[in-house]
Chains A and B, each alone.
Chain A
């Protein structure tokens, strides 16, 4: 095991970089961070559309949420894999494909976090803001969202944990993230699959468990439970 780590740790962490494309754990983290970062504004818009007063806004977004929540992430990845080249006109690399799939998928789940977060603010806040002369948008922007976002923080950290786990699906479309690199290491070593895959599991565990503790600590400090989304 020690020898294994000694030989492959750098490959495991960054793939063939700088002699080749970035890969391994670094790519996993980059993909998860970018995914969540881009999914958040999308999720915010979708979440607000979900609770909008306008049916024209609410209904299509509600339908989108139901569809995306009803299919596996892998299905979204396959659609992205197929659609992106058709839309953009040129071949899309695996990183972009996976990123787009993650942003759409996580955007929808974040929309539900946003919706629950805004719903959790007492209606009196909105009424008070409106009676003080704020428009509906101004009230959301200056009164409701600043409070709601604070309550959403633990859920967003939990969502980051989910996103890290979801990046592993990049394996299926040949993205050189950490699970893919591990399989390549396994092919090279050949005789120690148990140790190689155990190392992968431990890596994910340390990362995700650590982050979920952070979310838990935040929950306790803020005195609010995370939005009870059924986690994947």
Chain B
């Protein structure tokens, strides 16, 4: 086996390709996160609503998304979904970066289904006595929510949301299947161009690990700094 070639990773076109992939993976994560959190909150609200119909819609969304692999979502949103659009819109879509758009759609829907469950159980983790007690002390419903319930719910919800962000970060790798030039795609590309498998994969592994461990560290910092007090 040839020796490990660091220079390949530190400069030159292959270095640039790998770094570009790393940056795109980060961008995918960031964009998805921004879109998924509001969607997840909305789905969690559906799941908690008093109306049986709305709850059923929420449950259906979560179960339908979670029981299908992300790869199948990606294939559907890339190969299938654009065909349903009107011709003019389709042309405009194909003129843009359709791979990345499909990947973000799939990642957002998938991540939101998991986050919705975390948000729901976070809100439900606050004992109902807290609301009753606040109301008895003279707070209005909104005041009670804002001052008593939500501050406690957020503490319970943030750690699982951070760990879903970690999953999201790892899941961006699946976008490689529809040709998004993210970290994994670039690593495979550099590998087949240079036959330097160990170097290319070591770079990608280090990149994934660095961000993953940072996110893990962030989660434990948060839990240490803002412990759950209601239990």
The residues of A with any CB-CB pair to B shorter than 8 Å are 66-67, 69-75, 78-79, 82, 86, 161, 164-166, 168-169, 171-172, 179, 182-183, 186, 193-194, 196-198, 200-201, 204-205, 207-209, 212, 230-232
Say how far A76's CB is from chain B's closest CB, in angstroms.
Answer: 9
Asked if A74 and B174 make an inter-chain contact with CB atoms under 8 angstroms apart, the answer reads yes
- Report chain B residues within 8 Å CB of A78: 184, 187-188, 201, 204
- Known A-B contacts A78-B187, A194-B84; the reply to A179 vs B72 at CB < 8 A is yes
Question: Do B76 and A201 touch across chains, with their CB atoms under 8 A apart?
Answer: yes
| Residues of chain B within 8 A of A74, CB atoms compared | 173-174, 176, 184
Q: Could you pull out 24 A-B pairs where Cβ atoms are within 8 angstroms?
A: A67-B209, A70-B209, A71-B209, A74-B176, A79-B201, A165-B70, A168-B70, A168-B71, A179-B71, A179-B72, A193-B83, A194-B83, A197-B76, A200-B75, A201-B73, A204-B68, A205-B67, A209-B67, A212-B67, A230-B163, A230-B164, A230-B166, A230-B167, A232-B167
Hey, which chain B residues are within 8 Å of A172, CB to CB?
A: 176-177
Question: Which partner residue on chain B sits nearest A232 by CB separation?
Answer: B167
A168 to B70, CA, bound (A): 9
Which of under 10, 10 to 19, 20 to 34, or 35 or more describes the interface residues of B? 35 or more
Q: How far is the CA of A74 from the CA of B171 in the complex (A)?
A: 9
Chain B contact residues, CB within 8 Å of chain A? 1, 63-64, 66-73, 75-76, 79-81, 83-84, 114, 160, 163-164, 166-167, 170-171, 173-174, 176-177, 184, 187-188, 191, 197-198, 201, 204-205, 208-209, 212-213, 216
Residues of A within 8 Å of B114, CB to CB, are 230-231
Known: A70-B213, A194-B81, A200-B72. 7 other contacts (CB 8 A): A71-B170, A72-B184, A166-B69, A179-B75, A183-B79, A197-B79, A201-B73
Residue of B nearest to A74 (CB): B173
Residues of B within 8 A of A67 (CB): 209
Taken together as a complex, chains A and B put the C-alpha atoms of A205 and B66 apart, in Å, by 8
Q: Check if B67 sits within 8 Å of A70, measured CB to CB.
A: no
* Residues of B with C-beta under 8 A to A66: 213, 216
Complex contact A75–B184 (CB within 8 A): yes
Given A172-B177, A194-B83, also A208-B68 (CB < 8 A): yes
CB distance from A180 to the nearest CB of B (A): 10
Closest Cβ neighbor of B216 among chain A residues: A70
A70 touches B208 (CB 8 A): yes
Chain B: CB-nearest residue to A230: B163
Give Cα A170–Cα B78 distance, bound, in whole angstroms: 18
Q: Are A71 and B205 in contact (CB under 8 A)?
A: yes
Query: Given B63, B80, B164, which contacts A198 in the complex, CB threshold below 8 Å?
Result: B80
Establish whether residues A75 and B79, one from each chain, have CB atoms under 8 Å apart when the complex forms. no
Kindly list chain A residues whose C-beta atoms are within 8 Å of the C-beta of B198: 82
With both chains docked as a complex, state the minimum distance between the C-beta of B184 and any C-beta of chain A, in angstroms.
Answer: 6
